[in-house]
Amino acid sequence: MTAPGAGTDAGTGTGTVLVVEDEPSIADVLAIALRYHRFEVMVAGTVREALTLAERTRPDVALLDIMLPDGDGRALGRELRSRRPELALVFLTARDAPAEIVGALGFGDDYITKPFNIDEVVARINAVLRRTRSVDVLPQRPPLRYGDLELDESTYSVHRAGGTVELTPTEYALLRFLVRNGGRIVPKEQLLRHVWQYEHTPPESTVVETYISYLRRKLDALGPPVITTRRGVGYGLA
């Protein structure tokens, strides 16, 4: 981990972050860096502490370690999301634990592998908040449509063939970008820039492939396959 604030401007995010990490040295570094970047920060070392803090202070995003002394960070994330569906979730995972990543991304908004660069953590939290926070929209803003898909831009809800599709905020952002590009194939690098706000594409990143698989599973339950793959290039809508 690099020093808090190294190489970045302190004038970044605003909001409240719940850091759930049982290793005090890591929790301290995260808290110092996030406060430097003007976030309000709460720190919990256990599932029990995290649930109490979240209920009392209502954070905007939770940064959750997977392995906690009294439970699993993924189960904690599910509980937090069930209480507050708008809460953004970012998971801290071990680099050599792909099963943890897949499990977390089933309902979370992003993940960060350990060991991490602290500036990347700050940037990723800012990016998650930009795409998950409620924003002011025009009351009569028309829905986005593609085939039998309809995305309501006022309520951030999705329907297909008359059925409701329950998506996480990041899944919604990904589908919206694909719909806005119509039948074009969108390169993976472009999806990472526009949906995940990555300035530089991590060479080993499989986040796009993982989210595409979740979108396919949810959308294909209500009709024929709608997402197409151009191998080695990117994704689009059929």
Report the percentage of the chain scoring pLDDT > 90: 42
Local confidence band at 7 (pLDDT 50, 70, 90 cut-offs): very low
What's the chain look like in SS3? CCCCCCCCCCCCCCCEEEEECCCHHHHHHHHHHHHHCCCEEEEECCHHHHHHHHHHHCCCEEEEECEECCEEHHHHHHHHHHHCCCCEEEEEEECCCHHHHHHHHCCCCEEEEECCCHHHHHHHHHHHHHHHCCCCCCCCCCCEEECCEEEECCCCEEEECCEEECCCHHHHHHHHHHHHCCCCCEEHHHHHHHCCCCCCCCCCCCHHHHHHHHHHHHHHCCCCCCEEEECCCEEEEC
Structure tokens at 236: 């689009």
pLDDT at residue 4 greater than cutoff 70: no
Mean pLDDT of 194-200: 74
- pLDDT at residue 138 in the model: 40
pTM of the model: 0.59
Tens-place pLDDT, residues 38-90: 898 999 999 999 999 898 888 999 999 988 999 999 999 999 988 888 889 99
pLDDT at residue 29 greater than cutoff 60: yes
Tens-place pLDDT, residues 122-166: 988 988 888 776 554 444 567 889 999 999 877 788 999 989 999
Tens-place pLDDT, residues 90-109: 998 876 666 656 555 667 88
- pLDDT at residue 8 in the model: 40
Q: What are phi and psi of 75, to 5 degrees?
A: -65, -40
Average pLDDT for the chain: 83
- pLDDT at residue 115 in the model: 85
d(CA 99, CA 97): 5
- Between 81 and 13, the higher pLDDT residue: 81
d(CA 209, CA 187): 12
Classify strands 40-44 and 16-20 as parallel, antiparallel or unpaired. Answer: parallel
Burial class (CB in 10 A: 0-12, 13-18, 19+), 147: middle
136, 142, 143, 144: CA torsion to nearest 10: -100
pLDDT at residue 12 greater than cutoff 70: no
- pLDDT at residue 127 in the model: 87
Mean pLDDT of 164-191: 89
- pLDDT at residue 9 in the model: 41
Structure tokens at 176: 């919206």
pLDDT at residue 1 greater than cutoff 60: no
- pLDDT at residue 6 in the model: 41
